[in-house]
Chain A
């Protein structure tokens, strides 16, 4: 299983960020599978953003829910995260990750390398 994030490295304040997670080794049409997005501001803790499940169920961080949209394209093996109204505090490394099968926890066993997104005018 591998995952890789792609998207812009620099966005301006108020713009919309679109990140793509391209994965291999699993299918998002298989029961129990899910992909999540997590970010980490420089020197700060991990922050969970969103999850999308094989059945198209979607969950969002309550504090960011109004700004996030997560979608999947099973034919392309991709998950897309959109975040609106970007602000400099959103500067972070953004990771996508595969949810571990067979556990009750929404924990992540495979991660992409991450992509650093800076927000600045």
Chain B
């Protein structure tokens, strides 16, 4: 059982916006602004989309190329013990699994259970 709870699946039509939630506790998301989001296509390694709740990594590391950077269609936010990833202008290529992660009081990294995004 993952420490962070994500919906198993979400779906949306091309052009729409969708939001994926990631719920933790006061021992992780609620106390630290250290939430990250990853995208994973089948058979591929995960790709970092967001770090520190709402930062796209291409803006932090001068060496980050991250597979040609991260689109500004991806954005992150946090409220209380829940973090969210919003994808705007949904595209077919966004169909993938999405994982959140957070720093916790017991460990520097814990992942969520993952959310499968289907583009209708």
Q: How far is the CA of A109 from the CA of B70 in the complex (A)?
A: 11
In the complex, which of the residues B36, B63, B64 contacts A105, with contact meaning CB atoms closer than 8 Å? B36
Residue among B47, B51, B106 with most chain A CB within 10 A: B51
CB–CB B46/A111 < 8 A: yes
CB–CB B112/A45 < 8 A: yes
In the complex, which of the residues B55, B61, B113 contacts A45, with contact meaning CB atoms closer than 8 Å? B113
Kindly state whether residue B107 has any CB partner on chain A within 8 Å.
yes
Q: How far is the CA of A107 from the CA of B112 in the complex (A)?
A: 13
Kindly state whether residue B120 has any CB partner on chain A within 8 Å.
no
Q: How far is the CA of A26 from the CA of B63 in the complex (A)?
A: 10
On chain A, the residues within 8 Å of B61 by CB distance are 100-103, 109
CB–CB A103/B107 < 8 A: no
Q: Which residue of B lies closest to A110 (CB)?
A: B66
Q: How far is the CA of A24 from the CA of B16 in the complex (A)?
A: 40
Kindly state whether residue A54 has any CB partner on chain B within 8 Å.
no
Kindly state whether residue A113 has any CB partner on chain B within 8 Å.
yes
Write the B93-120 contact mask toward A (1 if CB under 8 angstroms, else 0): 0000001010100111111111000000
Write the A67-102 contact mask toward B (1 if CB under 8 angstroms, else 0): 000000000000000000000000000010100111
Interface size class of B (residues with CB under 8 A): 20 to 34
Our count of residue pairs bridging A and B at CB distance below 8 angstroms stands at 88
Interface of A toward B, CB cutoff 8 Å: 1, 25-26, 36, 38, 45-48, 51, 59, 61-62, 95, 97, 100-114
Interface of B toward A, CB cutoff 8 Å: 2, 33-36, 38, 40, 45-48, 51-52, 55, 57, 60-61, 63-64, 66, 99, 101, 103, 106-114
* 21 pairs, CB–CB < 8 Å, chain A vs chain B: A26-B63, A36-B109, A38-B46, A45-B99, A45-B114, A46-B111, A46-B114, A48-B109, A51-B109, A61-B107, A95-B45, A101-B63, A105-B36, A105-B51, A105-B52, A107-B36, A107-B101, A108-B48, A109-B48, A111-B45, A111-B46
A45-B112, A100-B60 known; 15 new pairs, CB 8 Å cut-off, are A1-B63, A38-B46, A45-B99, A45-B114, A103-B55, A105-B34, A105-B52, A106-B103, A106-B109, A107-B36, A107-B48, A107-B52, A109-B48, A110-B66, A111-B47
